[in-house]
Amino acid sequence: MPKLDEQIDALETRLKQLKAQQQRIDARRRSIEVRRTRKDETRRKILVGAIVLAKVQAGEIDEKRFRQWVDEALSRPEDRALFELP
């Protein structure tokens, strides 16, 4: 019987190792997905911002109205400074 107990212990140890490995793989996969989602969101924001700025420059969006939107939306001093807001 001791040999059978040793085999069971070895298999249980291997199972724990495989479960831990699977957890690491799952965590890595989730991390990659979160980074991809964040990257995509940042890209969307940059593209929308570029489109809006182009429309303002082309006169399709009223610059006064745009500045009002920016003034209402931005609160951090460094962000407001980018748009020369007080």
Angstrom CA distances, 84 to 66, 72, 81, stand at: 13, 14, 5
Place of tokens 């964040």: 38
Q: Please report, to the nearest 10 degrees, the dihedral formed by the alpha carbons of residues 67, 68, 70, 76 taken in order.
A: 120
12, with CB counted inside 10 A (0-12, 13-18, 19+), is exposed
Range of the structural domain that residue 56 is part of:
2-82
Residue 78 has pLDDT above 70, yes or no: yes
Residue 56 has pLDDT above 90, yes or no: yes
- What would the mean pLDDT of 32-39 be, rounded to a whole number? 97
Number of domains forming the structure of the chain: 1
